[in-house]
Amino acid sequence: MGNNLHQPLGQDRKPKAREGKTADSHWGRRLVIAAVLLAVVGGAGWMALSGARVETTETAVVMQTSRTDAASQAANEATDVSPADEEAELVTDQAGTDDTLPVQDGKSGAKIVTTLGDDGEKLENITPVDRDNKRPVLLKIPGRIGQNPRLAHLPDPAVIEQTENGRLPVRGANGERPFDVYARPWSGARGARIAIIVGGLGLSQTGTQYAIKALPEEITLAFAANGNSLQRWMQEARRGGHEILLQVPLEPFDYPANDPGPGTLTVAAGAAANLEELHAAMSQITNYTGITNFMGGRFLADPDALEPIMRDLADRGLMFVDDGTSARSLADRFAKTLGIPFAASDMVLDATQERGYILSKLDDLERVARRNGQAVGVASAFDVSVDAIATWSNEAKARGIEIVSASAVADDPEQ
């Protein structure tokens, strides 16, 4: 075998054997590279094909959805959805389902007993009240003010009842009042505030439409109970942010020579007949905070005729607004006695249908508000009155006067 200790390492390898091994290594690497490239190309091809199928599917879904939406839109346009259907749907949503938490008045979780101490100090003993249902409840703030703006044109099911005369306002099971539920909120800030009530809406279609469109939303609108299309106009006014009143015709001193119109409450009719007329008037619209009179000098001065009407308003949680045209009105006395939210007009703004006169009366109203903290003016929905009030209101706000709704200036015995 010989002695290889002094032979350089690697010198005994045969050249051909070394070349063959190198060639095999090159071919192996080429096969690996080819396999990798094939895998990459194949994967890319699969992804491309798969992506094309996904894209096609998404496009088809989009196209199908578009066709479905178009068909649904066409069906909706072809279907006449009545306001009553819309109202029923939204009222159902508002009322909630069995799966929602029950809503409970904030005052209902405690029993409050009020007594007087020896020194005349009022003492209140508050103890918890057990609930039959031990599930959690949502407590709402007592005396809540206003509706969700999206639902302001719909009656709140908590303060409405269905009667043979139609839907009438009523106190809710937990003491809610329509006066509070339908009121327009205000800032509560200190300073002069003015409420302006524009009445006679519903008597003229064009005049009503113009008043709702032109008047700032802070202006309170009073709808004549014997007007036309009242529910439609009421909904438009509420969508526009207005607080509304129901204007009920009452007997003047020179009736029937001076006739307020159909449905007039009269002294001679008696309590039962007048309540029937009042409820018929109340059912014409919903979502009003209270009642205001149209004429009524004689009726408002007669205690026997007025008392049943005012008691009904107290039971239902409604406000009464006296338009201030009768110096002999007893409405304020009954309101204090029966606990009715009450407001009275300080002046009629448009006794003369002339822009300069109306603007001067509005300036007078501002002076009353700065002196007393608040003031109330009433007008009718004539175009000249609407234009003057709209212009003046915007200017008054710039002078620091807050224009508020009628409920914001009412004397409320429950507050």
Residue-wise pLDDT for 45-72, tens only, equals 544 444 443 333 333 333 333 344 444 4
* pLDDT score recorded for residue 126: 73
pLDDT for residue 150:
86
Give the per-residue pLDDT at 115: 65
Whether residue 89 lies inside any domain: the answer is no
Q: Is residue 148, in this structure, part of any structural domain at all?
A: no
| Of 319 and 4, more confident | 319
Closest CA to 303 of 327, 281, 271, 277: 271
Q: Are residues 354 and 209 in the same domain?
A: yes
* Same domain, residue pair 238 and 385: yes
* Structural domain harbouring 377: 159-409
Strands 220-224 and 244-250 turn out to be parallel
pLDDT reported for residue 146: 75
The tens digit of pLDDT for each residue in 168-217 reads 999 999 899 999 999 999 998 889 999 999 999 999 999 999 999 999 99
Of 72-81, 198-207, 281-290, the least confident: 72-81
In which band, very low, low, confident or very high, does the pLDDT at 148 lie, cut at 50, 70 and 90?
A: confident
C-beta separation of 204 from 227 below 8 A: no
Whole-angstrom distance, CA of residue 168 vs CA of residue 285:
9
Report if pTM > 0.95: no
CA dist 222 and 49 (Å) reads 69
Mode of pairing for the β-strands spanning 402-404 and 110-116? unpaired
Question: Are both 196 and 124 inside the same structural domain?
Answer: no
CA–CA dist 194, 343 (Å, integer): 12
DSSP string, 189-249: -SS-EEEEEEEEETS-HHHHHHHHHHS-TTSEEEEETT-SSHHHHHHHHHHTT--EEEEEE
Q: Do 292 and 372 lie in a common domain?
A: yes
- 125 and 218 share a domain? no
- pLDDT surpasses 90 at 120: no
Instruction: Determine, yes or no, domain membership for 309.
Output: yes
Cβ proximity of 129 and 111 under 8 Å: yes
Residue 366 lies in a domain: yes
Is residue 154 within 8 Å of residue 285, measured between CB atoms?
A: no
Joined together, the tokens standing for residue 196 give 């302006």
286: which residues sit within 8 A by CB, 6+ positions away?
A: 154, 155, 160, 167, 169, 231, 234
pLDDT of residue 243: 98
Phi and psi at residue 306, to the nearest 5°: -80, -35
In this structure, is residue 149 part of a structural domain?
no
Question: Rounded CA gap, 112 and 215, in Å?
Answer: 45
Q: Are 318 and 310 in contact (CB under 8 A)?
A: no
| 298 shares a domain with 331 | yes
Tell me, yes or no, whether 267 and 355 share the same domain: yes
Both 317 and 181 in a single domain?
yes
Q: What is the mean pLDDT of residues 89-94?
A: 44
The answer to whether position 151 is within a domain reads: no
Residue 342 sits in a domain of what CATH number? Answer: 3.20.20.370
Ramachandran angles phi, psi of 18, nearest 5°: -65, -40
- Domain assignment of residue 114, yes or no: yes
In a domain, 237, yes or no: yes
Residues 6+ apart with CB under 8 A from 152: 146, 238, 239, 241, 287
Calpha distance 310→319 (Å, rounded):
10
Statement to judge: residues 167 and 293 lie in one domain = yes
One domain for residues 117 and 181: no
Confidence of residue 97 (pLDDT cuts 50, 70, 90): very low
Task: Name which of 146-155, 236-245, 263-272, 367-376 the model is least confident about.
Answer: 146-155
pLDDT band at 24 (very low <50, low <70, confident <90, very high): low
Query: Facing residues of 162 across strands?
Result: 167
Number of independent structural domains in the chain? 2
Whether the pLDDT of residue 262 is over 90: the answer is yes
Compute the distance between CA of residue 93 and CA of residue 79 in angstroms, rounded to an integer: 21
380-406 burial, b at 16+ Cβ within 10 Å, e below that, comes to bbbeebbebbbebbeebeeeebbbbbb
How far is 150 from 326, CA to CA, in rounded Å? Answer: 38
Examine the domain organization and report whether 332 and 192 are in the same domain: yes
The span from the CA of 307 to the CA of 278, in Å, is 13
Residue 329 has pLDDT above 90, yes or no: yes
Report CA-CA distances (Å) from 313 to 105, 113, 397: 22, 27, 33
Which of 142, 169, 196 lies at the terminal end of a domain, its last residue?
A: 142
pLDDT, greater one: 27 or 222: 222
Q: For residue 77, what pLDDT is reported?
A: 41
More confident call, 96 vs 25: 25
CB pairs under 8 A, 24+ apart, for 2-9? none
Examine the domain organization and report whether 293 and 364 are in the same domain: yes
Cα gap 201→226, rounded to integer Å? 10
